[in-house]
């Protein structure tokens, strides 16, 4: 036990004295507030776009007085021109959409990838709807039919069950993906340095001549890397929560979102962060210790960052919910459970499944690394 502690102390000292290790440990945590505040502001800007910023709309035909009146009511500034001229104006962003007419058929030209163009298209749709009702009303009244009775023959009321704030939830979901990425990055660099790096520098041979069991060397290194990644996870969590609370006060997109997470939920999130730190640290050491040089280990571990990040982005974008199988699927189970927890749908069976499966994975991984260190191949891999 004392030698596990001695190796742990040595590794922690190495991490704390190595500027690169410290940078990798804190680079993502300190980027999180910039990302959260930046995205929050961007979403708010899009939500609060004034009509005057997108109401310049092209039209290829002469509007009647009635059409002009409806356009005025809808605050549309129509710009006249032929299709070619309007296309040019659209490309120069002088107008955001344009409308053409052939008989009774109206065509709206816009780009749904552009926010202002989409908003302009919505405005045209609203204008055409108003114009259509106006024409229907006139026709009905000319035929002595009560237009109110016909047009409002049924009454529609829409109740939206979606009480959650989509934009806020989107940002919160991504925040946890960043936390997972921060933990991964904080594990990878020290794992590379303390295994392949130590081998390359020649200090591993020195270490193996000391009266220390291979198991103690691995456990000491493992605990130091777990500590590094867990601290990065905790710092990321604290910074994220502070950033979200600041954004709640300075932007309007979090108005209906409750950012106060209960003590119990904070504890569960910290527990999940710890479990992920245990898992990713073991995996990073297992991969890096097979490599001969620091550079080789870096190349081998780079995919791990992507594996940690992209499946989580996909499941979040597809709004996948946790299932028993997903709860034991490494990399994604941690994030899925946190998202369930934050949205108030936590299933404790999944937490238990995640815990048990992680312990099983770690046992296999640590066993594998110890076997590697017990073999002389760890030093003389050629």
Residues that bind other proteins (CB under 8 A): 2-3, 6, 9-10, 13-14, 17-18, 201-203, 205-206, 208-213, 376, 379-380, 382
Q: How far is the CB of 230 from other proteins (least distance, A)?
A: 22
- Cα 186 to Cα 36, 66, 181, 365, 369: the distances in Å are 20, 66, 9, 19, 20
Which lies closer to other proteins via its Cβ, residue 54 or residue 294?
294
**Residue 21 CB, nearest distance to other proteins (Å)?**
10
Task: For the CB of residue 371, give the shortest distance to other proteins in the complex, in Å.
Answer: 14
Closest to other proteins by CB, 114 or 215:
215
- Which of these, 173, 196, 341, 198, lies nearest to 272 by C-alpha position? 341
**Residue 200 three-state SS:** helix
- Residue 155 or residue 376: which is nearer to other proteins going by CB? 376
Nearer to other proteins, 115 or 200 (CB): 200
Residue 218: C-alpha distances to residues 80, 84, 109, 126, 271 (Å): 75, 71, 64, 67, 23
29 is written with which tokens? 């945590």
Residue 107 or 203 with smaller CB distance to other proteins: 203
What is the smallest separation between the CB atom of 201 and other proteins, expressed in angstroms?
A: 6
Dihedral, 368, 199, 205, 228 alpha carbons, nearest 10: -70
Q: What is the token pair recorded at 361? A: 């994975």
- Round to whole Å and give the CA distance between 51 and 53: 5
Instruction: Provide the 10 A C-beta neighbour count for residue 248.
Output: 18
* Token pair in block for residue 226: 């777990």
CB of 357 to other proteins, least distance (A): 34
The nearer residue to other proteins, 18 or 296, going by C-beta atoms, is 18
Q: Whose structure tokens read 């502070």?
A: 242
Nearest distance, CB of residue 331 and other proteins, angstroms: 32
């Amino acid at each position: 036990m004392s030698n596990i502690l001695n190796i742990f102390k040595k590794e922690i000292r190495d991490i704390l004295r190595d500027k690169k290790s410290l940078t990798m440990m804190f680079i993502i945590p300190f980027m999180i507030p910039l990302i959260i505040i930046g995205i929050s502001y961007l979403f708010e800007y899009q939500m609060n776009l004034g009509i005057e910023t997108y109401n310049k709309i092209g039209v290829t035909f002469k509007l009647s007085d009635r059409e002009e009146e409806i356009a005025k009511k809808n605050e549309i500034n129509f710009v006249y021109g032929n299709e070619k001229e309007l296309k040019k104006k659209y490309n120069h962003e002088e107008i955001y959409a344009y409308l053409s007419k052939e008989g009774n058929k109206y065509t709206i030209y816009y780009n749904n990838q552009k926010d202002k163009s989409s908003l302009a298209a919505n405005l045209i749709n609203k204008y055409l709807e108003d114009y259509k009702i106006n024409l229907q009303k006139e026709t009905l009244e000319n035929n002595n039919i009560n237009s109110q009775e016909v047009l409002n023959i049924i009454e529609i009321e829409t109740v939206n069950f979606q009480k959650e704030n989509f934009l806020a939830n989107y940002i919160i979901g991504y925040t946890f993906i960043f936390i997972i990425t921060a933990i991964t990055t904080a594990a990878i660099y020290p794992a590379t340095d303390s295994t392949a790096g130590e081998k390359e520098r020649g200090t591993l041979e020195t270490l193996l001549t000391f009266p220390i069991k291979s198991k103690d060397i691995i456990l000491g290194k493992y605990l130091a890397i777990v500590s590094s990644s867990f601290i990065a996870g905790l710092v990321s969590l604290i910074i994220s929560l502070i950033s979200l609370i600041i954004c709640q006060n300075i932007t309007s997109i979090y108005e209906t979102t409750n950012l106060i997470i209960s003590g119990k939920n904070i504890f569960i999130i910290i527990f999940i962060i710890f479990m992920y730190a245990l898992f990713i640290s073991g995996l990073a050491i297992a991969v890096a210790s097979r490599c001969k040089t620091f550079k080789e280990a870096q190349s081998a571990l780079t995919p791990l960052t992507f594996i940690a990040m992209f499946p989580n982005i996909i499941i979040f974008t597809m709004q996948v919910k946790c299932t028993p199988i997903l709860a034991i699927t490494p990399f994604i189970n941690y994030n899925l459970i946190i998202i369930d927890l934050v949205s108030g749908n936590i299933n404790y069976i999944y937490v238990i499944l995640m815990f048990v499966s992680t312990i099983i994975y770690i046992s296999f991984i640590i066993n594998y690394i110890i076997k590697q260190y017990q073999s002389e191949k760890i030093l003389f891999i050629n």
